[in-house]
Structure 1
């Protein structure tokens, strides 16, 4: 890479803005790196896929770690988050599979969706008392021990809720059967994603929204008929993707929207009803639903087009 622009600084294979306050792209092959004290922002994807990097030192000048900043840094074993960072962005540490420990400082107020996904060597995470906002499920596809010190959330029986228990953020239990509390109105993005032990779930009539990836990869989730309650209006993108054991899903008249790839890869699904209340079905919603009865498939295509079976 070469840089001829005065708006940026490129030195030692690292790209910054001209004031060196934002680290834009790390392109070196070093195993250890210390970010300069001038940097306040680690940009989106700044260290994306840097597989040689094993440790990094972040100075107290940094306040923001952008989305996907360290995604796929498979060799990263050690990282310090200084007591100046306020937000841990979306998918920041996704796939940092060698990371063994991480300390979230009391300066952090927001942790975003999938921040620690697929960090297979990370044994535990503590939500500090300073955190007041969690967006989506930062712990999606991570199976270590979670501790909570924040009064903005309730963590009981290995299930994380907001403080009013109206949003179910993360189901981390190992039970085969679970009944969602009647207080819950929203099943958050990725809340049950990858729960390999879950076979049966009861969704109460209080629930109005099933978020994106809510039950994605719950491959043993099954019922003779899987009932979505007559309170749900929205089934989010990829909500039931790869729920490979579901055979019959009942969608009530309250539902108006089914998101992209909502039931993609539900390979055992033979029967599903689409009520007249549904006005929108996203792209690929039933892609690879190979056992779906032909007359049902024909009816869905006639009403919503081929796009719901393709992506």
Structure 2
């Protein structure tokens, strides 16, 4: 006999031991698969090939010695069931690979849940996908210098693996190669230039990582590495991908190299311990200001931290910029701000009360979700678009101050929060206004709720001088044709009369000091301005 054919003893569930005679050279695919009582196998010298899934699901197989004559471990034809030669041999504790093997193919020892030690000889060039995936007790693996490729998920969920030295010929770390190695504390990567998606995800014991040679790091490569305190990035890396440091809650400082051209949304989301953001001064695309990571061209705030002070020229706060900054207690949003991205301040559990500036037009989904310490937020009329669930998970005592019937007020009511008017309402000469008292005991008009064609704005409300017209206060009032502003008013906010499409004439007082950005933008019929 020279060979044992495909599925020759498949599911012989009472078979407890096998002695293969001399002269056999090939053991076919599935030859002893699911022989669940099999505990010992003696494979003689002369066997050169063991097929795919040949001993798969032999759950009680404790001892198997591979002969030095073995030169190839096979795979199944299609591998729809993720089956390898010894996959699911749950009682196997150690294995020695013969010197003639050049490749250990995909799934060979996957889900050998009690496998603790593997000896891989010099000469092995490739470890296939999932080759040790799910070997939860694997502690000891010595990788030979000959190794050139470790394929995707090769060590996924090897939860006991603590230390690993990669040979210098390994240049690529593929998808999820070490994902879920929760005990991994030290790994050296001397030749690695490419790290793919989720490569080290959920390596929760990993504290330091040197990626100084990696020119490319994929999305979520280090996500949920909750003990990671120090990571060294390459001076040639150009992109920091989405979720790359997601959930790295012990990371306190990050330095962005000069080579970085793109930082994707959520790259640092839920880095709850982040206190310092440094950008190489030679970086042409990003800079650090107020402990915030800023994009030069757009003035977008890409990333903040627990100690950030938002710069005065910020136009956009990007998605996830402050997400998970659990020690961030106070923010002052600048008058330049126009947009707050999705999840921008989500899980800022220490964040107190917030005032949105009148320049802001948009607040994204979940922007302030799970800000459990926030008891009030003031949202002006200028915010005309809001996402979904922007307050979900906040304290039940949260009060949202907004213009009644505005998009923000409607969203807050939908989520079950108390909504109060951002100001008081009044009626003067048949015209309805919403207003608030300023710190100098004067009045700012927040909203006009009338429909007149010709309007003279009152100089007093509640016996107090009207000095300011807020952003968007009269925006899109398409009935207005003529407006007279009293001599008490010194300031008109951004887009205050935006798209008053039938407005023809405006009379300004000599007291006027400031007319805001786009205050009369797109008033297409405006022909007379008296200053």
Q: Describe how 1:57-206 pairs up with structure 2 within 5 A.
A: 57-58=188-189, 60=191, 62-66=193-197, 68-81=198-211, 83-90=213-220, 92-122=221-251, 124-136=253-265, 138-139=267-268, 140-149=271-280, 150-164=283-297, 166-172=299-305, 174=307, 178=309, 180-182=311-313, 184-193=314-323, 194=325, 196-204=327-335, 206=336
Q: 1:127 to 1:286 in 2, by over 3 A?
A: farther
Q: Distance in 2 between matches of 1:275 and 1:195?
A: 31
Q: 1:253 to 1:148 in 2, by over 3 A?
A: closer
Q: Distance in 2 between matches of 1:226 and 1:52?
A: 44
Q: Distance in 2 between matches of 1:33 and 1:5?
A: 32
Corresponding residue for 1:300? none
Q: Deviations over 1:102-148 (max 9, x none)?
A: 21012211113443344355454321111111113534424254322
Q: CA deviation at 1:222?
A: 3.7
- Contact 1:34–1:56 under 8 Å retained in 2: yes
SS class of match (2:235)? coil
The farther-off stretch of 248-257 and 99-108 is: 248-257
- Contact 1:196–1:218 under 8 Å retained in 2: yes
1:240 and 2:337 aligned: no
- Contact 2:276–2:307 under 8 Å retained in 1: no
Q: CA deviation at 1:59?
A: 5.6
SS class of match (1:71)? coil
Calculate the TM-score normalised by the size of structure 1.
Answer: 0.72
Q: 1:269 to 1:99 in 2, by over 3 A?
A: closer
Q: Distance in 1 between matches of 2:238 and 2:249?
A: 24
Q: Distance in 1 between matches of 2:258 and 2:348?
A: 31
Q: CA deviation at 1:241?
A: 0.8
Q: CA deviation at 1:210?
A: 0.9
Corresponding residue for 1:302? none
Find the partner of 1:42 among 155, 165, 174: 174
SS class of match (1:202)? coil
Q: 1:246 to 1:165 in 2, by over 3 A?
A: farther
Corresponding residue for 2:102? none
SS class of match (1:16)? coil
Q: Distance in 2 between matches of 1:97 and 1:144?
A: 15
CA RMSD of superposed structures (Å): 3.8
Runs of at least 5 residues in structure 2 that lack an aligned partner in the other structure: 1-52, 57-74, 80-104, 111-126, 132-147, 421-531
- Contact 2:256–2:278 under 8 Å retained in 1: yes
Q: Distance in 2 between matches of 1:81 and 1:5?
A: 37
Corresponding residue for 2:106? 9
Q: CA deviation at 1:189?
A: 1.8
